[in-house]
Structure 1
Amino acid sequence: MILPRAALAAALLVLLAACSTDRPKPTPLEQYEPRIAGRQVWNARFGNVGPLIVPAAREGLFFVATADGDVLALQADNGAVRWRARIGAPVAAGVGSDGRFVSVVTRGNEVVTLDSGREVWRKRVPSAVVTPPLVAGERVFVMGVDRAVHAFDALDGRRLWTMQRPGEALTLAQPGLLAAFRDTLLVGQGARLVALDPLRGTVQWDLPMASPRGTNEVERLADLVGPPARVGDRVCARAFQSAVACVDAARAAVLWSRSTGGANAVGGDDERVYGADASDRLTAWSASSGDVVWNHEKFLYRSLSGGLAVGPAVVFGDSEGFVHFLASATGAQQLRLPTDGSAVLGTPVLSGATLLVVTKNGGLYAFRPN
């Protein structure tokens, strides 16, 4: 029996979770001498966050949704609640925001958009969604697990266009790539990065980030993982269990692609791109050439989160709730801060000087490195 695309994605998510239980024990953490200062500035717990619900940061606020259907805007500097809304349905993917409009997607495939905490519209899409919506230019862009991209008017929910291209039936049940670049919409379509005209949904260019090989759909699965790491015109991303690659989005050219395993998003700055492979071996690649700058195995099997570059450090969370600050030039441990002991999910989010991580137990922890 051939399963529908959404069912295949759900089955893959279960398969990946089952495989993770067979991993070797996490490598014990080494003693280290802190090289930078940093502290927790606030923490909160508002309910079940859920493994796929990614927060957003805009205009000095963090936007967070719970799996139970609460959407909150929090002051980034102190965690104070600016507003809180109840959408009346479990949330599957979120949050996208431009600072005014906030969009999430329910498990019933409804796109719900709020204006300063007040619901203004909700519209259904035909497939499940696990990628956070993108809100930009008074439009809301949503990508389903079937890779179809839908554009809505942020003001009234009017559907503007839908773009769907043929591709592999199996898709990845974790947040994909959906981002803005100047006046272009970037979307992941399998292992390819596609630029769309946000007004009409037409393809402007299409670049391969990886060349997946395999004898079956699971082995060929190489969906691009979000969020991407963007610095200027350079956009870098991971293709699931296949490669890490960078493109020059202004010239529509692939700069480099390096074969490597791994499932989580990469981080990046002016000089390097950072990521962990399937065994949590950390690597830093030259952002310009793709050459390996450094790698180490100090965090093997610690289920590292996606990476985020913050000044002279790159930050990863792990399965025991620790947040690791590593020197971006060498990978040396600079600082280690605890949370609630449960796994750090997704990728850390930055607003100004405040860094937010979300834990499996539903904790929100804000840190300020110095």
Structure 2
Amino acid sequence: MRKNIKALAAGTALVGLLGVSGCSLWAPSRPKPAELGPNVPVLGVRQAWTARVGAVEDVSLDVHVNGNTVTLASANGEVAAIDARTGGDIWRAQLNVPLGSGVGSDGRWTAVVSRGAQVIVMDGGREIWRKSLPAQAYTAPLVAGNRVFVLAADRSVSAFDAATGYKLWSQQRPGEPLVLRQGGVLMAVGDTLVAGLSGRLVGFNPDNGTVRWEAPLASPRGTNDVERLVEIVGRTSRVDDSVCARAFQATVGCIDAARGTVLWTQQASGGEGIHGDAAMLFGTESNGTVVAWRRADGSRAWTSDRLRFRKLTAPLLLGRSVVIGDDTGLVHLLSREDAAPLNRLTTDGSAIAAAPVAAGDTLVVVTRKGGVYGFRPD
């Protein structure tokens, strides 16, 4: 595990934090997954198109959707906006630096973070500025209100003017000395900027960075830094002011983001985010179990061991299906009612690199090799 623990560097200055890869906390081997059996497509889905970007290994990738545009990035600095209706490029840019996280976009401004801890912003595929950060960032920037917000690994939150790169404000919150090398939570809820810091969701005034509220989903426990590691991981499920999220290997829970109060938490042992709607939440646990919780109180509706011992992505709730990728390049469509298999889709055999997304009527998944696949109902 220690070979996966790295010191974070901001430019040439060493930051006094350690970054821990989420996979480094897993055992070095796991039991062999059960055979899936033949695919019986209850729900008809066809591959509509394929596209490519560079390999996305070692990028904390968040595939961004704005209308019918899907924006994503590769490890070697390639950023592409793809039309989900056709799979064709809207624009494509090469930044010529290795990337650590991305993508954030509002449809015009697009932001990524380099492994050298620089936030890089483009306007319609044309780079317009770069600014150094105090530490690496593993969470995709948030672009909203003509501003770019960045959550860095030293638990600082910074705001920049999207057009000029001028730093508007920066706030840093104390926390445990270890951070997770995995995408966290940075989102807008009404007029509040919500960030995941350690085991808390924190609401900021986006205009000046002052803290409006803090809502703890989990607290550090244990006798050493690794055992005490607790982070909020993406993705999340938002319905109006209700925001539900996962604390890494600790809990799932929901908060009222208007008041900053915790509605409920339940113990859970997963490392990927959750998704859902006004009635249900869905998540994948560390052993490959898929779980459904009732949003109202967090009680379990069902669990499924069908994908046990597979390394699974965070889910996407899409109509009647819970869509989940695995580390063999398969995409599983399960019934939201009882996890019954509805279909199974194939890609290029490399791991699905990020949680699946929906753009219009197209399901989009990205593989570690840089394959981008668009699927549609028959």
TM-score by length of 1: 0.95
* Aligned partner of 1:80 among 88, 100, 122: 88
- Answer yes or no: is the 8 Å Cα contact 1:9–1:172 preserved in 2: no
Cα drift, residue 221 of structure 1: 1.2
* Aligned partner of 2:213 among 166, 187, 205: 205
Cα separation, 2, equivalents of 1:11 and 1:154 = 28
- Answer yes or no: is the 8 Å Cα contact 2:19–2:180 preserved in 1: no
Cα separation, 1, equivalents of 2:47 and 2:170 = 43
Counterpart residue number, 2:138: 130
SS in 1 for 2:354: strand
Q: 1:9 to 1:344 in 2, by over 3 A?
A: farther
- Answer yes or no: is the 8 Å Cα contact 1:10–1:173 preserved in 2: no
Cα drift, residue 54 of structure 1: 2.2
**Is it true that 1:311 corresponds to 2:319 in the alignment?**
yes
* Aligned partner of 2:41 among 17, 30, 34: 34
Cα drift, residue 120 of structure 1: 1.2
**Is it true that 1:100 corresponds to 2:145 in the alignment?**
no
SS in 1 for 2:226: helix
Aligned 1:340-355 pairs, distance under 5 A: 340-355=348-363
- Percent identical: 45
Cα drift, residue 27 of structure 1: 2.1
Cα drift, residue 287 of structure 1: 0.6
Cα separation, 2, equivalents of 1:11 and 1:312 = 38
Alignment deviations for residues 305-360 of structure 1 (CA, whole Å, 9 cap, x no partner): 11111112111001111111111111111111111111112211221111211112
Cα drift, residue 8 of structure 1: 8.2
Counterpart residue number, 1:175: 183
Cα drift, residue 362 of structure 1: 1.6
- Answer yes or no: is the 8 Å Cα contact 2:63–2:354 preserved in 1: no
Cα separation, 1, equivalents of 2:40 and 2:75 = 38
Counterpart residue number, 1:69: 77
Cα separation, 2, equivalents of 1:325 and 1:10 = 37
Aligned 1:129-148 pairs, distance under 5 A: 129-148=137-156
Counterpart residue number, 2:271: 263
Aligned 1:188-337 pairs, distance under 5 A: 188-337=196-345
Q: 1:168 to 1:10 in 2, by over 3 A?
A: closer
Cα separation, 1, equivalents of 2:18 and 2:64 = 24
Cα drift, residue 42 of structure 1: 1.1
- Answer yes or no: is the 8 Å Cα contact 1:8–1:170 preserved in 2: no
Q: How many residues in Structure 1 have an aligned counterpart in Structure 2? A: 368
What letter matches 1:207 in structure 2?
Answer: A
Counterpart residue number, 2:12: none
Cα drift, residue 156 of structure 1: 0.3
Cα separation, 2, equivalents of 1:313 and 1:3 = 38
Alignment deviations for residues 102-141 of structure 1 (CA, whole Å, 9 cap, x no partner): 0011111111111111111111101011110000000000
Cα separation, 2, equivalents of 1:212 and 1:329 = 34
Aligned 1:21-60 pairs, distance under 5 A: 21-31=28-38, 33-51=40-58, 52-60=60-68
What letter matches 2:332 in structure 1?
Answer: H
Cα separation, 1, equivalents of 2:243 and 2:278 = 11
Counterpart residue number, 1:356: 364
Cα separation, 2, equivalents of 1:270 and 1:135 = 25
Cα drift, residue 71 of structure 1: 1.1
What letter matches 1:36 in structure 2?
Answer: L
Cα separation, 2, equivalents of 1:39 and 1:220 = 45
- Answer yes or no: is the 8 Å Cα contact 1:91–1:105 preserved in 2: yes
What letter matches 2:287 in structure 1?
Answer: S
What letter matches 1:128 in structure 2?
Answer: Q
Cα separation, 1, equivalents of 2:317 and 2:23 = 27
* Aligned partner of 2:374 among 339, 359, 366: 366
Cα separation, 2, equivalents of 1:228 and 1:242 = 15
Alignment deviations for residues 226-246 of structure 1 (CA, whole Å, 9 cap, x no partner): 121112221111100101111
Alignment deviations for residues 193-214 of structure 1 (CA, whole Å, 9 cap, x no partner): 0000000000011001123421
Alignment deviations for residues 143-181 of structure 1 (CA, whole Å, 9 cap, x no partner): 111111110000100000001011111111100111111
What letter matches 1:66 in structure 2?
Answer: S
Gaps of 5+ in 1: none
- Answer yes or no: is the 8 Å Cα contact 1:212–1:242 preserved in 2: no
What letter matches 1:171 in structure 2?
Answer: V
Cα separation, 1, equivalents of 2:55 and 2:8 = 27
